[in-house]
């Protein structure tokens, strides 16, 4: 709404200004004028004090000399006085006139001004309301963006990774390309396809590519645009989207972030009238249109679990395609696509970058390449080198570096010991991912951090891997305790992560013998499509006894892993001190540098390998079946 540009707005203010000016002017004048009785006025005339008179129908104004001889202005109310003119002439008032200088505008303005002003104001409000209304309506039309030609040129070849999703979508492409072939056979093409996956995995790009492959128009809207206005506007926008789709058939409609509209209707108290209306309109439209028309609705969300079940029923979004996070191969392909736009140094191996970025999605990788280019430009480099890439990766996974933070030597020492604790325990546990880097330069929320990188993509995590991870997480706190005989608040994030893992092991992974192979809570509910009961609840209810056992088991797991961590740390205290010395000096240590420092001490080196071997044997015996999904490489 650009109120400022509306001519009515300007007109209103100008009118108001003029009227105020006139009122002020009039009252100012009035205050200079002396109000005289008519008889007084006549008296002054007879005395020859009046020098100037102006007669109008409503007022007589003029100038007179008062008893002190000072010239003053006066005003008085005219009377029906036939002698006035004669008196004026007789007493030699040289300047007098009877012209009505006030004219007709003055009185009209004074009498009718407020009413006119009110009407203008009212008109203005009406005008602005209706013009907003019009804009709102036209928003509904303009917000649905028809694709540019550039977008239409996007094909599946521009989308790296997610091969399975592409395969599934190929069918939709075929249908859009020649719908008659499918109609002859009588097969039912899905009306709606729901793409779901983490943010940044490329759902929108994939949707564009479907349209591009099929060579049909592409209409995109975002779910959040449907709920931002007054009641009814969202619904009308939905109608508009489908109308446009029908006119342009065959075509592809795309609704991004559909969870904004399609949230479970019973979730929350009181509900949300507008959203519900919009959702109902969406359902009505989906039921109403026939795939024979050649219109297919694609929607994307990263929260499929919150969607209203009505949306997922047959005949609506009856096909759901998961867009997974990219694996190693996908990541390399994605990096290849993005690095075409920039100048990479020859030394750069995209495989290494792909391996250093587990768990990151396409948008993150694009971001890494872009940030690297910016860093390289800032250093006046001609090409992007591996250094730039490393820094960008760390920035994405751990946050920006905070070199300006001043930290006392005492605290630096604590930080260094804490991080080396994580690293040394990781080095001594067989299932741990290799340590990639230790740093005591603050980054993001952390004062120091240890990065471990997996060698391969992993989809399952074993129980021993989890236990080892717990030992590594708890190591920072333990070293603080052993070296300084004092603990700090710094380990809060480590403890939180450890508690989360241990809790899941007991309540979700069935890894506690006392609790048994039983699901006691289900945080996975939030990630996959499971419909909730009417109240939106999917909670487990336990007896107090069960809660007690759960807590006991969580604590038990923590204590066991803590003890293991402690024993590794005490046996390696000499090495730890040596590494801390190097770390305090260099502030960063790579995995390689760490290995060299450790290898320098042959005695402890032997100790390490012995511990590792023992652990390997043990883990082979113990845990083969306890496999679960986990991925987290930065210990902040």
* 260 binding partner (options ligand NHX, Zn ion, none; Cβ < 5 to 8 Å by kind): none
Contact region with ligand NHX (CB under 6 A), list: 107-115, 264-272, 412-420, 461-469: 412-420
What are the helix (H) ranges across 179-232? 179-185, 203-214
Is residue 450 within 8 Å of residue 426, measured between CB atoms?
yes
Please select the residue that binds ligand NHX; options are 41, 242, 254, 449, rule is CB under 6 A: 449
Is residue 265 within 8 Å of residue 282, measured between CB atoms?
no
Question: Cβ of residue 612: shortest distance to ligand NHX, in angstroms?
Answer: 22
Note whether 278 binds ligand NHX by CB under 6 A: no
Name the residue whose CB lies closest to Zn ion: 476
Note whether 491 binds ligand NHX by CB under 6 A: yes
* 579 binding partner (options ligand NHX, Zn ion, none; Cβ < 5 to 8 Å by kind): none
Note whether 581 binds ligand NHX by CB under 6 A: no
Q: Which residues pair with 401 in a beta bridge?
A: 443
Question: Cβ of residue 514: shortest distance to Zn ion, in angstroms?
Answer: 29
Please give the backbone phi and psi of residue 420, each rounded to the nearest 5 degrees, phi first: -65, -35
Note whether 493 binds ligand NHX by CB under 6 A: yes
CB nearer to ligand NHX: give 187 or 400. Answer: 400
Nearest of 329, 363, 324 to residue 165 by alpha carbon: 324
Question: Cβ of residue 445: shortest distance to ligand NHX, in angstroms?
Answer: 4
Please give the backbone phi and psi of residue 484, each rounded to the nearest 5 degrees, phi first: -105, 0
The CB density around residue 348, as the number of other CB atoms within 10 Å, is 18
Is residue 205 within 8 Å of residue 154, measured between CB atoms?
yes
Please select the residue that binds Zn ion; options are 223, 294, 362, 476, rule is CB under 5 A: 476
The CB density around residue 447, as the number of other CB atoms within 10 Å, is 22
- DSSP assignment, residue 443? B
Note whether 419 binds ligand NHX by CB under 6 A: yes
Note whether 424 binds ligand NHX by CB under 6 A: no
Note whether 439 binds ligand NHX by CB under 6 A: no
Distance in angstroms (rounded) separating the CA atoms of residues 327 and 348 = 20
Distance in angstroms (rounded) separating the CA atoms of residues 36 and 60 = 10
CB nearer to ligand NHX: give 399 or 510. Answer: 399
Question: Cβ of residue 319: shortest distance to ligand NHX, in angstroms?
Answer: 38
* 449 binding partner (options ligand NHX, Zn ion, none; Cβ < 5 to 8 Å by kind): ligand NHX
Query: Three-state DSSP class for 308?
Result: coil
Contact map string, positions 489 to 528, toward Zn ion, x by CB under 5 A: -----x----------------------------------
Find the largest Cα–Cα distance for the chain: 135
Question: Cβ of residue 584: shortest distance to ligand NHX, in angstroms?
Answer: 13
Query: Three-state DSSP class for 73?
Result: strand
Question: Cβ of residue 174: shortest distance to ligand NHX, in angstroms?
Answer: 47
* 50 binding partner (options Zn ion, ligand NHX, none; Cβ < 5 to 8 Å by kind): none
Is residue 202 within 8 Å of residue 159, measured between CB atoms?
yes
Give 268's contacts (C-beta < 8 A, 6+ positions apart).
536
Question: Among all residues, which ones are annotated catalytic?
Answer: 419
* 447 binding partner (options ligand NHX, Zn ion, none; Cβ < 5 to 8 Å by kind): ligand NHX
Is residue 203 within 8 Å of residue 197, measured between CB atoms?
yes
Query: Three-state DSSP class for 195?
Result: strand
Note whether 427 binds ligand NHX by CB under 6 A: no
Question: Cβ of residue 588: shortest distance to ligand NHX, in angstroms?
Answer: 14
* 209 binding partner (options Zn ion, ligand NHX, none; Cβ < 5 to 8 Å by kind): none
The CB density around residue 606, as the number of other CB atoms within 10 Å, is 10
Query: Three-state DSSP class for 192?
Result: strand
Instruction: Give, rounded to a whole angstrom, the gap between the first and last alpha carbons of the chain.
Output: 46
Note whether 483 binds ligand NHX by CB under 6 A: no
Note whether 450 binds ligand NHX by CB under 6 A: yes
Nearest of 156, 292, 293, 134 to residue 215 by alpha carbon: 156
Q: Which residues pair with 588 in a beta bridge?
A: 439
CB nearer to ligand NHX: give 83 or 408. Answer: 408
Please give the backbone phi and psi of residue 453, each rounded to the nearest 5 degrees, phi first: -125, 135
Please select the residue that binds ligand NHX; options are 60, 476, 576, 619, rule is CB under 6 A: 476
Please select the residue that binds ligand NHX; options are 271, 309, 445, 600, rule is CB under 6 A: 445
Nearest of 561, 576, 594 to residue 435 by alpha carbon: 594
Query: Three-state DSSP class for 449?
Result: strand
Distance in angstroms (rounded) separating the CA atoms of residues 324 and 358 = 13
Contact region with Zn ion (CB under 5 A), list: 290-298, 429-437, 470-478, 608-616: 470-478
CB nearer to ligand NHX: give 245 or 476. Answer: 476
* 446 binding partner (options Zn ion, ligand NHX, none; Cβ < 5 to 8 Å by kind): ligand NHX
Question: Cβ of residue 556: shortest distance to Zn ion, in angstroms?
Answer: 22
Please select the residue that binds ligand NHX; options are 418, 427, 437, 463, rule is CB under 6 A: 418
Question: Cβ of residue 422: shortest distance to Zn ion, in angstroms?
Answer: 6
CB nearer to ligand NHX: give 170 or 488. Answer: 488
Name the residue whose CB lies closest to ligand NHX: 490
What are the helix (H) ranges across 428-457? none
Token digits for 189?
Answer: 């093409």
Question: Cβ of residue 304: shortest distance to ligand NHX, in angstroms?
Answer: 27
Q: How many residues of this chain interact with ligand NHX, rule: CB under 6 A?
A: 20
Is residue 252 within 8 Å of residue 217, measured between CB atoms?
yes
Note whether 15 binds ligand NHX by CB under 6 A: no
Note whether 635 binds ligand NHX by CB under 6 A: yes
Is residue 559 within 8 Å of residue 502, measured between CB atoms?
no
Residue numbers at the binding site for Zn ion (CB under 5 A): 476, 494
Residues that bind ligand NHX (CB under 6 A): 415, 418-419, 422, 445-450, 476, 488-494, 635-636
């Amino acid at each position: 709404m650009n109120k400022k540009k509306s001519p009515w707005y300007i007109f209103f203010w100008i009118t108001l200004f003029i009227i105020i000016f006139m009122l002020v002017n009039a009252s100012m004048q009035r205050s200079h004028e002396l109000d005289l009785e008519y008889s007084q006025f006549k008296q002054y005339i007879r005395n020859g004090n009046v020098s100037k008179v102006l007669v109008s129908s409503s007022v007589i104004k003029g100038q007179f000399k008062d008893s002190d001889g000072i010239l003053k202005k006066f005003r008085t109310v005219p009377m029906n006085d036939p002698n006035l003119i004669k008196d004026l002439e007789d007493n030699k008032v040289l300047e007098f006139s009877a012209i009505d200088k006030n004219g007709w505008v003055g009185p009209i303005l004074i009498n009718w001004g407020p009413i006119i002003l009110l009407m203008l104001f009212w008109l203005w409000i009406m005008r602005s309301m209706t013009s907003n209304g019009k804009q709102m309506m036209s928003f509904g039309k303009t917000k649905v963006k028809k694709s540019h030609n550039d977008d239409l040129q996007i094909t599946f070849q521009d989308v790296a990774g997610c091969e399975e999703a592409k395969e599934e979508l190929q069918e939709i492409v075929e249908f859009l390309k020649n719908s008659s072939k499918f109609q002859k056979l009588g097969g039912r093409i899905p009306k709606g396809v729901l793409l779901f996956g983490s943010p940044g995995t490329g759902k929108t790009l994939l949707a564009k590519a479907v349209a591009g492959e099929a060579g049909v128009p592409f209409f995109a809207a975002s779910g959040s645009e449907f709920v931002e206005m007054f009641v009814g506007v969202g619904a009308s926008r939905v109608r508009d989207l489908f109308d446009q789709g029908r006119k342009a058939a065959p075509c592809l409609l795309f609704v991004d972030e559909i969870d904004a509209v399609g949230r479970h209707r019973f979730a929350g108290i009181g509900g949300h009238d507008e959203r519900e209306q919009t959702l109902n309109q969406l359902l009505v439209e989906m039921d109403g249109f026939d795939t024979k028309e050649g219109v297919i609705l694609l929607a994307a969300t990263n929260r499929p679990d919150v969607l209203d079940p009505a949306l997922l029923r047959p005949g609506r979004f009856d096909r759901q395609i998961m867009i997974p996070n990219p694996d190693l191969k996908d990541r390399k392909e994605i990096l290849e696509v993005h690095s075409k736009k920039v100048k990479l140094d020859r030394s750069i191996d995209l495989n290494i970058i792909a391996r250093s970025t587990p768990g990151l999605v396409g948008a993150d990788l694009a971001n890494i390449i872009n940030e690297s280019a910016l860093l390289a430009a800032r250093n006046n480099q001609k090409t992007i080198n591996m250094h730039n890439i490393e820094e960008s990766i760390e920035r994405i996974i751990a946050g920006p570096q905070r070199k300006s933070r001043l930290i006392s030597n005492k605290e630096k020492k604590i930080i260094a010991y804490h991080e080396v604790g994580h690293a040394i325990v990781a080095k001594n546990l067989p299932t741990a991912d290799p340590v990639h880097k230790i740093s005591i330069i603050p980054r993001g929320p952390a004062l120091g951090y240890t990065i471990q990188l997996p060698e391969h993509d992993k989809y399952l995590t074993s129980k021993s891997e989890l236990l080892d991870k717990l030992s590594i997480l708890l190591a920072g706190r333990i070293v603080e305790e052993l070296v300084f005989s004092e603990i700090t608040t710094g380990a809060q994030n480590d403890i939180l992560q450890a508690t989360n893992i241990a809790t899941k092991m007991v309540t979700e992974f069935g890894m506690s013998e006392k609790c048994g192979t039983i699901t006691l809570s289900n945080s996975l509910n939030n990630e996959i499509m499971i419909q909730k009961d009417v109240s939106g609840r999917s909670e487990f209810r336990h007896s107090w006894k069960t809660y007690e056992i759960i807590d006991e088991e969580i604590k038990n797991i923590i204590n066991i892993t803590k003890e293991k961590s402690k024993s590794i740390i005490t046996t390696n205290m000499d090495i730890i001190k040596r590494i801390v010395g190097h770390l305090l000096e260099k502030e960063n240590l790579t995995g390689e540098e760490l290995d060299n420092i450790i290898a320098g001490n042959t005695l402890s080196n032997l100790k390490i390998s012995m511990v590792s071997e023992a652990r390997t044997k043990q883990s082979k015996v113990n845990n083969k079946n306890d496999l679960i999904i986990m991925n987290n490489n930065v210990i902040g």
